[in-house]
Structure 1
Amino acid sequence: MPRWRSMSCRMGWASAFSFAGSSRMNRSSSVMRISLVLPNDICRALFAENSLQTSLGNMTRILRLLQTLRALWAVGVAVVLLVAAPAAAAAALPGPRPSPPIAVPPDLKATEVSFPGSEGLTMHGTVLSPATAGPGRRPGLVLVTGAGGGSPRTRHLTEAVEFARRGMSVLIYDKRSVGYSLFHRSYSQLADDALGGLAALRSQPGVDGAKVGLWGLSEGGWVVPIAASRSKDVAFVVLVGANSLSPLRQATWAVQAGLLRAGVRGSLVDRAELNMFRMIDDLGMFPEAHYDPRPTIAAVRQPVLAIWGTHDLLTPPLESPPGFVAALEKGGNRRYTIRFFGNAEHAAFKTSDGGVTPLAELAPGYADLVGSWVADATAGGAPVARTSGPVPVQDALTIPVHRSAWWESAAVQLVASALFLVAFGSYPVVALVRRVRGRSRAPVTKVARLLSAGGLVVVPGMFVYVMYLLMSGGEMAFPGPVVTGRPLVWLALQGLAVACVVATVRTALSWRRARFPIPRGESVRLWLLIAGGTVLIPWGLYWGLLLP
């Protein structure tokens, strides 16, 4: 071997991607440059023959391979930048600015206010009041919104207008985005924000500071009782679509109920959806997952008005009200009113499709009830232990969502996923390397290719599809076409999982019955593949891929 070739083969990888896209070098310089960056074994394979034409042909294949790798690397960098850049930009931006002034009907007036929230964060809001002052000072109501960071105050402008027309001053404010995200939030912090708004409203001209209460919707139904239990300045509590269950149990039920309404049955609902929520919780990506609101509800001493729409699809309307009643009774507070509104959805707006789509109008009688109840409660005449309205509809009962055991924990799931990547991914990688070296050989069995390809599709496919359902579930899931209670996508994943199990058995038998000696490297490759297929069986049972 010439001296320059020997020297180049002793060098490791240098800058493989630095030359892969170059198209202006001639063939002789290509031989020299490629040899400087390729590892020893590939160099020997390239120059084992004396034919320059054969060597150049091999190097052409190497160039194409490296060009492909360079393109994939560029795509990967682009994806990372697309994901990271918005997050970095958001982190660099200052806190949310106040919303522009709100246009209100002529019978109302709007006053812009600012107040300190938790940890001194400046909050911005608008107070809506009757334009004409009535006799005496008015009661006040602070609206605490549901989930979502940075929700604008206009989110509840409809409710604020209707409540103000019932003789109240109503504060709506922009929800914090600082310290609040999909993966992190603090109900305690949100409660302090609400109390900051309460103090601001109590100080407004024309407002009776002793008659100001809190209204909480959905997530606000967890927040408002915390605030009420902390401060005697809260005169009363109004809750809409509130939960007496933990956030994790409520969210699991909401997605499950959405899948059931879409006609989905079987392991996707019973196994995959539930276990995915548990894994998310185990990863610490579900904030306040196991918060138990019942002790806090029991500590509330103020009069409580709790409202649910009969077609609430985000809060279990059959189970949450009894939980509130039991907790309030346990704490000795019997000044509560439970009211159900027919043909109303989660936020007590009218609905014509079973709660999936809210209409523009509040449920008939909702605003009137709030106005009259607040007047009675602030006058010392809050009703005692009253429940009324039609029976709500709930497609399925909630189930407890326990923490993951060690053998099903997120760490074990990550280890299993890494094993699948190595076991199923190494098979085609080795085949590609052999092809590049010109040492391709017939597989022990072609079924092994099915096992490798199927495993590389089933594992990420299951995670992506179930996560999509979790993100799109709620009022109505969109699982795609459903056949015999199972979405076509889920059926395809299940069929591929079964094929992988069969291929695992066939590959193991073919290896055992091979009539020709199998090199050690090939044995390791097959052992990894069969190990991955074997682990896929309990993994598939756990996630429901191998169950009806």
Structure 2
Amino acid sequence: MRVWWARCLVAALAVVAAASGTAAAGPARAGQDTEQGVEFRSGEVTLHGTVTAPAGTARRRRPGIVLVHGSGPETRAKYRVEAQAMARSGFVVLSYDKRTAGYSLTQRSYPQLADDALAGVRVLRGRADVDPRRVGLWGFSEGGWVVPLAAARSAQVSYVVLVGASGVSPARQSAWSLENRLWHEGVAGSLLRTVPVTGTRFLTDAGLLPEADYDPLPALRRVHQPVLALWGDDQQSPPAESAVAIGKALRDGGNTDVTLRFFPHADHKLRTSSDGFQRGEHVVPGYVETMASWVAGRGHRTNDALPHQARRSHALVPLPHHEGPAAQAAAFALMVVSFAAHLLKEWVRRLRRRPCAPGAGRAPRWLAATGLATLLGFLGYLAFVTMTLTPGPVLGHRPVFWLVLQLLAAGTVLAAVATVVSWWRVRASVPGRTGARLGLLVLASAVFVPWALFWGLAAL
């Protein structure tokens, strides 16, 4: 009999879940909380998530909150610490795996991600243990751009919590973050502009930084729900600038229920951190408690003083046509082919033990070798810095690898001058094919100089 009643109860819960777009798995214990797997639809995509709730039977319905991810292929596992901390503070929390359809490093749509968040809101509103009048959205980092879009479109969102949100565009925020990281690593000089500014402008114009120019302020002006925005010692989103921009946009839209709070000794995600760069494992004390009190209406709604922000972000202007990705790709291909072809020709000549033609001696070989090494080394080093966010060994505030590349670039220019001089001296005796090959090499050198200036290899 008890088994029959248990089956009926499970079936009833499944019906409720299905009515709200979910298909629930059986609950499993997670410390003092309970976790329940769910599936729900957002358009044509099925999303998988976990509902984390306080253990025990609540005498009254609890507030619900949907966690909206930061950038990248985020999964619910990355937010389990936050979900469990919020559940212990009385929330029923939905975390879910970010969609893979339509989302990648080079493709994403914030309105589409907002649809996913609203689908999660419907899941919580359909649960018997959740107060449907108190279901909100929590947006971290990239989620700080997504959540206002969702909240502005649906009255079912009761409140908004933003963590590490940026009040500037993704491209501008990315450049500021990269500059902060390099500065923290002790870097000064041209690399501080090359990677954060020039590199971000190039990726934006090449279409490799999705939603790069998204302006978050119009959506914020349409948000009328209560908003709690939180920052730590943020080194990824400019905290002072973002707080001012977000607060002003909300107030310009007529929203007077705006609370801005700052937590020292916390990183971008409000995990404990000594400097904002080191990533912590535990949520900073007071963060979740502040959020719970605020949602319950017991927390104060006055704003903290703005934190110190050492460097301001800067707007990024598009590259001119002659410096754009197409021109850069053509110039890079011309230089690589010219330098490599000359080295290959010299290698074949040596294998066949043929004499060196007039004008095609040591200087052109040095030009081709140093030029090719600079190009390929620059490409590899830029990829390394971008992916690892570390410059490698630093000597006198200059990364050692960057100094080597700058020396190679200087050697390429000197070798180009030497090549032109030696060719000019014997121009009357230079064979036609050798002259054409040297001409192509000099042309590549002429392209190399503005290229090196553009990417900071010829600057201090």
The match for 2:44 among 112, 117, 120 is 120
1:100–1:519: structure 2 CA closer, same or farther, 3 Å change rule?
Answer: farther
The match for 1:417 among 322, 326, 332 is 332
TM-superposition CA deviations, 1:25-67 (whole Å, max 9, x none): xxxxxxxxxxxxxxxxxxxxxxxxxxxxxxxxxxxxxxxxxxx
> Larger C-alpha radius of gyration, 1 or 2?
1
1:202–1:522: structure 2 CA closer, same or farther, 3 Å change rule?
Answer: same
Distance of 1:273 and 1:174 partners within structure 2: 30
Aligned to 1:15: none
Aligned to 2:368: 452
1:403–1:516: structure 2 CA closer, same or farther, 3 Å change rule?
Answer: closer
Deviation at 1:113, TM superposition (A): 2.0
Aligned to 2:286: 365
1:133 equivalent to 2:45? Answer no
Deviation at 1:467, TM superposition (A): 2.3
Aligned to 1:109: 34
Aligned to 1:30: none
Scaled by the length of structure 2, the TM-score of the pair is 0.90
Scaled by the length of structure 1, the TM-score of the pair is 0.76
SS in 2 for 1:495: helix
Higher mean C-alpha deviation, range 428-437 or range 491-500:
428-437
Aligned to 2:303: 387
TM-superposition CA deviations, 1:459-502 (whole Å, max 9, x none): 121122122212222xxxx2122122211111111111111111
Percent identical residues: 42
Write the letter of the residue equivalent to 2:439: W
Contact 2:201 / 2:317 at 8 angstroms: preserved in 1?
yes
Contact 1:336 / 1:383 at 8 angstroms: preserved in 2?
no
Contact 1:273 / 1:466 at 8 angstroms: preserved in 2?
no
Aligned to 1:77: none
TM-superposition CA deviations, 1:361-410 (whole Å, max 9, x none): 2111111101110111xxxx8865x2116x53534211111221101100
Contact 1:99 / 1:152 at 8 angstroms: preserved in 2?
no
1:372–1:507: structure 2 CA closer, same or farther, 3 Å change rule?
Answer: same
Aligned to 2:176: 253
Distance of 1:398 and 1:443 partners within structure 2: 54
Aligned to 2:16: none
Deviation at 1:443, TM superposition (A): 5.2
Distance of 1:497 and 1:530 partners within structure 2: 15
Deviation at 1:302, TM superposition (A): 0.3
Deviation at 1:100, TM superposition (A): 10
Write the letter of the residue equivalent to 2:256: R
1:347–1:515: structure 2 CA closer, same or farther, 3 Å change rule?
Answer: closer
1:399 equivalent to 2:314? Answer yes
Deviation at 1:169, TM superposition (A): 1.2
1:227 equivalent to 2:137? Answer no
TM-superposition CA deviations, 1:397-437 (whole Å, max 9, x none): 11111221101100000110111023212212222343455
Aligned to 2:343: 428
1:155 equivalent to 2:78? Answer yes
Aligned to 1:511: 423
1:503–1:496: structure 2 CA closer, same or farther, 3 Å change rule?
Answer: same
SS in 1 for 2:178: helix
SS in 1 for 2:318: coil
SS in 1 for 2:99: coil
Write the letter of the residue equivalent to 1:339: R
Distance of 1:441 and 1:103 partners within structure 2: 79
TM-superposition CA deviations, 1:239-279 (whole Å, max 9, x none): 10011111111111111111111111111112354212211
Write the letter of the residue equivalent to 1:466: L
Contact 2:271 / 2:283 at 8 angstroms: preserved in 1?
yes
Aligned to 1:144: 68
Write the letter of the residue equivalent to 1:460: L
Q: How do 1:130-529 and structure 2 match up within 5 A? A: 130-149=54-73, 151-309=74-232, 311-352=233-274, 354-376=275-297, 386-388=302-304, 391-435=306-350, 438-442=353-357, 444=359, 445-473=361-389, 478-514=390-426, 517-529=429-441
Contact 2:164 / 2:269 at 8 angstroms: preserved in 1?
yes
Contact 2:174 / 2:196 at 8 angstroms: preserved in 1?
no
1:359–1:124: structure 2 CA closer, same or farther, 3 Å change rule?
Answer: same
1:303–1:382: structure 2 CA closer, same or farther, 3 Å change rule?
Answer: farther
SS in 2 for 1:214: strand
Contact 1:224 / 1:237 at 8 angstroms: preserved in 2?
yes
Give the unaligned 5+ runs of structure 1.
1-97
Contact 2:58 / 2:129 at 8 angstroms: preserved in 1?
no
Q: How many residue pairs get matched?
A: 437
Contact 1:113 / 1:124 at 8 angstroms: preserved in 2?
yes
1:112–1:387: structure 2 CA closer, same or farther, 3 Å change rule?
Answer: same
Distance of 1:152 and 1:100 partners within structure 2: 20
Deviation at 1:359, TM superposition (A): 2.7
TM-superposition CA deviations, 1:97-123 (whole Å, max 9, x none): x999764123x2223322112x22111
